[in-house]
Structure 1
Amino acid sequence: MKTFKLLSLGCFLFFISNVFSQTTSPKKFNLDFNQYDTERLLPKDWFQWGDQPISTESIEESNYVGKIITSKKGNFGCITYAIPAGFEGDSITLSGYMKIENINKKQSAGLLIRLNGANNKLLGFNNMADENINGTIDWTKYSITIPYSKETDYIYVGGILNGNTGTAWFDDFEITIDGVSIEKLNIIKKSSLKDNIETVIQSLEKSSKPLDLTDNKTLNNSLQPLIDKLGNKRIIAIGEDTHGTSEYYELRLAITKELILEKGFNTIVLENPYDGIEILTNKIDEEPLESLMRKHLFSIYQTKEMKSFLDWYKLKNDNNSIKFKGCDDSYWALEALLEKEFSSIRNEKLSTLLKTLKKAIKQSKKSNFKNEIKNNIAVYKAIIEMECYLDENNLHTPNSKELLFNGKSSYINYKRLSEEKTIRSRDEIMADRIAYLAKDPNAKIIVWAHNAHISNTVIIDNEIGLMGRDLKNKFKNNYISVGLSSLSGTYSYINNRFINSDHKYNDKLLQKKVELTGENSWEKVFNQFSNRPFFTDFNEMRKHINSDLFGDLKLIGYSKETYRDYYELPTLTMFDFLIFLNTTNATSSIAKE
């Protein structure tokens, strides 16, 4: 059986991009493997990913199948097919037949689907690894479904064998979007921002109002029209396109003050570990703010701007009428918070349950790769056991319910992994935590989080944006997203990309200029419209203009700016309102120089 010479993935991507740039409306896809390339000795347009060789086999006249035969030196092989995207829909399904033989039980085979956006950004992926398909199985039909993103540039499908044992065959693939075969769908060309700049500017003229940041009084006066539009909603999410921009904190504090003092909002939620914020608020009158910030806030928030907010919060919250909460995962202080909550209760069973939970958490912190899931499931079970006991004996308080809910949320994915269920993303869990707070009918909530999280639509990796999407779906027009954006200036960042991997928030705050904004960017169009700050009503704009205009948008996280922080996005669909500043400055660290 013959195979073709392996090409590197990078070479393939260059090759396939050039091929597809000349083919804008393919009418037939070789998903049944039956069109045969006599030069490459492979099914036409199929190619190899990985280091295990791919080939084809004729099982009857004119009926070819894809095949992967492993070698001991390889790690995985994937027989892959690429389709230029441009479709509309909410979900994409790949179905097909697979036969496997002698695959080790620690390895697996399956179907694969991958969605790539601009610059090969991953928008969606599933390779059935969680289903652990191995051994010897005759021809069986399988299918996988993932959310479909309209930002998809290429759809990759394939048959994959993860490992170095056995053989896998694949046949008769089919792709559907929202249940309709891709063979019947027409490719829809994206509308580009650069082709519609004049129209966008005209729409901005109808939908925008200037902002004056000269001083607090002028800022508050110019924000009043926006405050009036937000005041009767239940959840206002205020974003940022970097976590380290000084003016964004100034704007968010100004909006937050007005919503609390004028419109009855009473809860502030920060994109920070839940338990860290709980301890900070518990000790805010006992310990210096800077000390609390260093212990319990992500390093990127250890700034003078955040301290200004906390100074105001401490002053205004003397009667505990304003709640301050975190919405990120909490692994570090749950047991201490529960001990404090139940310190006045003398109950032997409850004390035993607390000891069991503390022991499980201590063990989980010592976990290695082999026992991580087992140890963290033990924590989850201990939380459930405590929750049941408190329910049965009427010992629950509103605070204990909230603490245990957030504990369960932090450990839920270990349970889902053990049950071979799809894990819930960080964004989905943050949405759950905010929605939990909104169960209180009197709660009016202000969220401080990144633009990528508050977006009304899913925008990155079928993960980032799920928080805003889920909250918009649940609360409809009672959830409002306000994006913050700028063209140029400086920003702060940290070098640690895994900010919640431990409880040591001691990263140095660094500063840098924004340098990589592209020509087809929303920021440049906003700057062309006005050389002064403004806010615009995207809901109003969408009445007059195609909302699916794609242009580059800056979304820098905690780290240093790279080209991968610019996403080709239909920005008008992401937010209800957007505040634009032409130039901004980096936040200032509270650390002593």
Structure 2
Amino acid sequence: MFFSKEREKEVINWLEAHSYRLAEPIDCASQDFSFLKSVIQDKRIVWLGENGHFIREHTMLKEKIISFLHKEMGFNVLAFESGLAEAYGANELKEASTPEAFMKNSIYSLWATEDTEPLFHLLKRQDFRLAGIDINPSSIPDTFLRFVAKLQPFVTEEQLQAFEFIERGAYEWYYKIGQYTAARKKVPNDVLQLFKHFKEQAITKANDLIKSIQFHLLNEREQAKETYLHVMQRSLANRLYFLNHLTEDHRTYKKVREQRLCENVEWLCNELYPNEKIIIWAHNMHIFKNFRSFFSKFEPMGSKISKTLQNDSYYMGLFMYEGETITDTGQAYKLSKPPKKSLEDYLSKVNSPTTFVDFSQLQKQRENEWIFKKTVFLDSGTMQTLITPREQMDGALFVQKVSPPPFKKEGEK
């Protein structure tokens, strides 16, 4: 807390001395993040947040950080907050895809921007893999279906048709139900009855497929096919989880989705890629550790994962001070002015367009005590949210001014 101008100057001087100052995001290069070697050290998982899904400068910075982590520190898996099935399928098909198609056929369209595409040029390398952690459909059903079709005759025509019924139906009902839930409207009973009929059929087909996969796993000795079987099994289990919870109210669905995000991260780290270093790309409110909201009791996946993985993780939140962006529906809005003594207010005092502060190795003292206390930040640049920075993150990357992203025009899919 500032008690005087002199005290405020002490805090600013401390931040100036303990921060890494960087150029504008558009002018940063991946090598500008070489300090991360001493910051991240031997951590196996790096969580990269963002304070809103439509922050161009955050995407620019993350693309450069990821490039550095892959090329210089051996991080070979990038897990997006996007569909597990779609991301895996797109990665298996990437050799025949352009970077733009690879991007659009795997991750949510909200990240299909000009600033994300360079990352997919890098992901085309055979030693760098794309993964997903979400249960929600994220691109197009054809992505995973094309991957499954490549496994014929190991996968029979009848099984492929069952996969197609489940995948196309999941996408169709995601958007049908979503039209009502997004508008906070009750889903009509006749629509619910049609969905119930589809869900019953999908569950039967999925369970039959899972039984067949489990039988093959008992007898399969080829490593690649065994991995494919595990991925198909996990993807089907995710679709069942998704369908069983799709009609829940918004608050309940948010919690059950978060639980499955956590379980999918655990599965990626412990089963699919147990020997790989992994980067996770998601919103700040998904990655915070040691966090539980006061009113809704919401816990993000970063708080839910095992202590073993938490201890092997570096959590980096991204923040901004001013500018404008867009909502999920494409409406432009200006960021609210951060209040005094907020996280954004403190970090804006550093004379730099982009600033990084490592919290992980700090000792509490008078000049930095705000990092160890309840401090406000503006979620998505508008909503006041209380966190204790040192408990929720290991470091903060801050941008003074932000803007909305330039989306890729409709093209190859």
Band the TM-score falls in, shorter-chain normalisation: 0.7 to 0.9
TM-score normalised according to structure 2 size? 0.76
Establish whether residue 407 from structure 1 lines up as the match of residue 236 from structure 2: yes
Secondary structure in 2 matching 1:397: helix
Counterpart residue number, 2:83: 273
Counterpart residue number, 2:262: 431
Matches of 1:540 and 1:457 in 2, distance apart?
17
* Equivalent residues in 2 for 1:246-395, closer than 5 Å: 246-291=56-101, 293-314=103-124, 317=125, 320-331=126-137, 332=141, 336-337=145-146, 339-345=148-154, 351-359=157-165, 368-370=191-193, 372=196, 374-375=200-201, 377-378=203-204, 380-394=206-220
Residues 510 and 289 of structure 1, relative CA distance in 2, 3 Å threshold? farther
Does the CA-based 8 Å contact 1:231-1:259 persist in structure 2? no
CA apart distance, 1:582: 1.4
Can you list the C-alpha shifts for 1:543-580, whole angstroms capped at 9, x where unaligned? 43365522321222xxxx6x5x3312223321101111
Per residue, is there more strand in 1 or in 2?
Answer: 1
Equivalent AA in structure 1 for residue 392 of structure 2:
M
Does the CA-based 8 Å contact 1:491-1:586 persist in structure 2? yes
CA apart distance, 1:278: 3.2
Matches of 1:466 and 1:535 in 2, distance apart?
23
Does the CA-based 8 Å contact 2:20-2:355 persist in structure 1? yes
Establish whether residue 591 from structure 1 lines up as the match of residue 409 from structure 2: yes
Establish whether residue 554 from structure 1 lines up as the match of residue 385 from structure 2: no
Residues 486 and 252 of structure 1, relative CA distance in 2, 3 Å threshold? same
Equivalent AA in structure 1 for residue 132 of structure 2:
G
CA apart distance, 1:416: 8.5
> Which range moves more in the overlay, 254-263 or 383-392?
383-392
> Which range moves more in the overlay, 279-288 or 234-243?
279-288
Counterpart residue number, 1:481: 315
Equivalent AA in structure 2 for residue 540 of structure 1:
Q
Task: Structure 2: give runs of 5+ residues left out of the alignment.
Answer: 177-190, 247-251
Establish whether residue 456 from structure 1 lines up as the match of residue 266 from structure 2: no
Task: Structure 1: give runs of 5+ residues left out of the alignment.
Answer: 1-192, 496-508
2:398 to 580, 586, 593: 580
Residues 219 and 406 of structure 1, relative CA distance in 2, 3 Å threshold? same
CA apart distance, 1:484: 1.0
Secondary structure in 2 matching 1:210: strand
Does the CA-based 8 Å contact 2:105-2:143 persist in structure 1? no
Residues 481 and 463 of structure 1, relative CA distance in 2, 3 Å threshold? farther
Can you list the C-alpha shifts for 1:310-341, whole angstroms capped at 9, x where unaligned? 23333xx0xx1111112111554587156325
Secondary structure in 1 matching 2:258: helix
Matches of 1:376 and 1:542 in 2, distance apart?
54
Matches of 2:192 and 2:337 in 1, distance apart?
38
Matches of 1:402 and 1:539 in 2, distance apart?
35
Does the CA-based 8 Å contact 2:84-2:132 persist in structure 1? yes
Larger RCO: 1 or 2 (CA < 8 Å, sep 6+): 2
Equivalent AA in structure 2 for residue 534 of structure 1:
T
Matches of 2:398 and 2:227 in 1, distance apart?
40
Matches of 1:360 and 1:590 in 2, distance apart?
29
1:211 to 2, 10, 22: 22
Larger radius of gyration: 1
Residues 219 and 583 of structure 1, relative CA distance in 2, 3 Å threshold? same
Equivalent AA in structure 2 for residue 553 of structure 1:
F
Matches of 2:91 and 2:331 in 1, distance apart?
27
Establish whether residue 445 from structure 1 lines up as the match of residue 269 from structure 2: no
Matches of 1:305 and 1:240 in 2, distance apart?
14
Residues 435 and 514 of structure 1, relative CA distance in 2, 3 Å threshold? same
Matches of 1:446 and 1:205 in 2, distance apart?
28
Matches of 2:55 and 2:281 in 1, distance apart?
13
Secondary structure in 1 matching 2:386: strand
Can you list the C-alpha shifts for 1:211-245, whole angstroms capped at 9, x where unaligned? 234876x6445422223322421110111112122
Secondary structure in 1 matching 2:325: strand
* Equivalent residues in 2 for 1:38-437, closer than 5 Å: 198=8, 201=12, 204-205=15-16, 207-213=18-24, 219-291=29-101, 293-314=103-124, 317=125, 320-331=126-137, 332=141, 336-337=145-146, 339-345=148-154, 351-359=157-165, 368-370=191-193, 372=196, 374-375=200-201, 377-378=203-204, 380-394=206-220, 396-412=225-241, 425-437=256-268
Residues 195 and 579 of structure 1, relative CA distance in 2, 3 Å threshold? farther
Matches of 1:534 and 1:360 in 2, distance apart?
46
Does the CA-based 8 Å contact 1:380-1:412 persist in structure 2? no
CA apart distance, 1:411: 1.9
